[in-house]
Amino acid sequence: MNTIVPLVDLKAQYERIGPEIDAAMRRVVESTGFILGPEVREFEDAFAEYCGVRHCVSVASGTSAIELALRALDVGPGDEVITVAHTFIATAEAISAVGAKPVFVDIDPISYTMDPALMDAAINDNTRAVIPVHLYGQPADMTRIVEIAAHHGIAVIEDAAQAHGAEWRGVRTGALGDVGCFSFYPGKNLGAYGDAGAVVTDSDDVAEQIRSLRNHGRQAKYLHDQIGFGLRMDAIQAAILNAKLPHLDDWIQQRNQVAQQYDTLLAGFDLARPVVSAHALHGWHLYVVRTTMRDALLSALQEQGIGAGIHYPVPLHLQPAYASLGYRSGDLPVTEQVAETCLSLPIYPEMTTCQIELVVDVYESATHALAVSTT
Ligand SMILES: *Cc1c(COP(=O)(O)O)cnc(C)c1O
């Protein structure tokens, strides 16, 4: 079956702003400045202002953003970093990459983000930082998380890879903790045409350290005062992001409208719809419902050409890659239950009412077919 409604539709976005993208790419090609340079600087300034922080340092990906944030805060071997298991593996990989140990805590069953009480309980003498994930575009409970972290003197690094433009009590993600990490992977709310990421912070020291680390520890052209990495953003990605950033708020607004239409059309269905926290402005990166018939519904939707997905089917504490940490099934009951029942429906700014209705129609007939087949 061909895809009728994809999970994300980057082609539809390009059809709307193609000339702006083409001009941005041509600018870079004609300048022949492909790494860092004025486009990158312009994007960093614009994105820092957008987030409401003093500094933005662009890097090669969201994963490297988290890794460099941890390095800049001097987190390393022997240290523990608290995060969640219901996220993309990159959150934990970055912790492992610096030699620290990821400590997974369970999530809140309504917001699907870190449960602050469990974070508090997991803090010990080795804990150096906490990485809440603003999953699906919804900010974690940053009031409590920042309060608890401050009380214990540990750093807060936001994984905002899915939450560009989302807000908590009127403050944009990235500006809520000590350091904010963004991904511009093509399918994210603000996406490049390849890998790209950024770190945002109010700290001069952290920004300066990441600026050095991403560029081989370079102080001057041939002078390196520390051993760094090759994790810069390239100018084509920055030019594309410069073209897209002015549209971001409209896109989030349009995503919000798609979510509202789903909410209306799915009311009365036997499923759990997303719940927006009282203090949150949701970025609607994903529209995720929960249903006990998840696997059967996913196949039915896909067979009918609807690009549904699962974010994420196997929690990190149960991934083979993390077997050595010794977690077992049952350790994070909410995370495990959400992993078994969550289903992501298509959402993107250009999605039409017709397409939304089609997704809901297919969903409805699939649930009826399944109900008949099980009675
Ligand atoms: C996409 C993503 C990342 C990693 O970003 P990359 O740019 O792909 O390296 C990290 N955390 C979360 C929650 C993500 O969704």
Best of 131, 185, 231 for a ligand 1 pocket test (most atoms within 8 Å of beta carbon):
185
Q: What number does the ligand 1 atom closest to the CA of 90 have? A: 10
In 81-188, where does DSSP find H-type helix?
90-97, 116-122, 142-152
Q: What number does the ligand 1 atom closest to the CA of 183 have? A: 7
Rounded average pLDDT over 110-137: 98
Q: What is the pLDDT of residues 200-242, one digit of tens each?
A: 999 999 999 999 999 999 988 899 999 999 999 999 999 999 9
pLDDT at 370: 87
Residue of 192, 178, 181 whose CA lies nearest to 233: 192
Between the CA of 82 and the centroid of ligand 1 the distance, in Å, is 17
HSE-CB of 58 using CA atoms within 13 angstroms: 28
CA 125 to chain centre: 29
Question: Kindly report the CA angle at 160 between 70 and 309, in degrees rounded to 5?
Answer: 120
Between the CA of 90 and the centroid of ligand 1 the distance, in Å, is 6
Residue of 292, 330, 348, 338 whose CA lies nearest to 312: 338
Q: What is the pLDDT of residues 237-288, one digit of tens each?
A: 999 999 999 999 999 999 999 999 999 999 999 999 999 999 999 999 999 9
Query: Which tokens go with 115?
Result: 């449960």
**Whether the predicted pLDDT of 191 surpasses 70:** yes
Task: Please give the Cα distance from 205 to 344 (Å, whole number).
Answer: 39
Rounded to the nearest 10°, the torsion over CA 275, 278, 279, 282 is 20
Q: What is the pLDDT of residues 38-79, one digit of tens each?
A: 999 999 999 999 999 999 999 999 999 999 999 999 999 999
**Whether the predicted pLDDT of 108 surpasses 70:** yes
Does the beta carbon of 136 sit less than 6 angstroms from any atom of ligand 1?
no
What percentage of the chain has pLDDT greater than the value 90?
A: 96
pLDDT at 196: 98
Ranges of beta strands (E only) in the chain are 55-59, 80-84, 101-105, 127-130, 155-159, 167-168, 171-172, 179-183, 197-201, 218-220, 223-224, 280-281, 287-290, 342-345
CB-based burial label for 216 (10 Å; 0-12, 13-18, 19+): middle
